[in-house]
Amino acid sequence: MEQWDNELSVELYALGNLMWRRMGEHMRQDGLADVTVMHSMVIGYLMEHGETYQRDLENEFQVNRSTITKIVQAMERRGYIRREVVAQDKRMKQLVLTDLGRELNHRLRQCAEDTNREFMEALPPEEGTAFIASMKKIRKKLE
């Protein structure tokens, strides 16, 4: 076992927790205390990709079906998204942002940009680019 094996998992876990926490702080400061960080990520995904399916969110965020079901149900209750039956297959339901979800997106996006900028200020631009590229390579390998 190489020296960095345990260090990698500890650092990634801690960094992820710090990022979630910091994003939540930015959201609370902007008066978005009722929106979770995961809800903000789903809203951002739907804004970027349009109507999508629950399994797309499972794949994008690497969470299991029961977890994403709970997230989608909560978002639907809060009025951020709605499920629409697909004409070709009545069993399938697309997830669609509501007007409220679209309105929240701009503020949530600003919170995410502030969080990302704060984190990436720790690295020179070329290291930041390499860091993100490395994370994408690792994710692709593990998926």
pLDDT bracket for residue 4 (50, 70, 90): low
Radius of gyration over alpha carbons of the chain, in Å?
17
What confidence score (pLDDT) does residue 141 get?
A: 92
Q: φ and ψ at 84, to 5 degrees?
A: -120, 135
Q: Could you report the per-residue pLDDT of 58-101, keeping only the tens digit for each? A: 999 999 999 999 999 999 999 999 999 888 877 788 999 999 99
- pLDDT above 80 for 40: yes
* Contact (Cβ atoms closer than 8 angstroms) between residue 80 and residue 32: no
Q: Could you report the per-residue pLDDT of 94-105, keeping only the tens digit for each? A: 999 999 999 999
What confidence score (pLDDT) does residue 1 get?
A: 52
HSE-CB of 46 using CA atoms within 13 angstroms: 31
pLDDT bracket for residue 42 (50, 70, 90): very high
What confidence score (pLDDT) does residue 78 get?
A: 96
What confidence score (pLDDT) does residue 91 get?
A: 79
3-state secondary structure the chain: CCCHHHHHHHHHHHHHHHHHHHHHHHHHHCCCCCCCHHHHHHHHHHHHHCCECHHHHHHHHCCCHHHHHHHHHHHHHCCCEEEEEECCEEEEEEEEECHHHHHHHHHHHHHHHHHHHHHHCCCCHHHHHHHHHHHHHHHHHHC
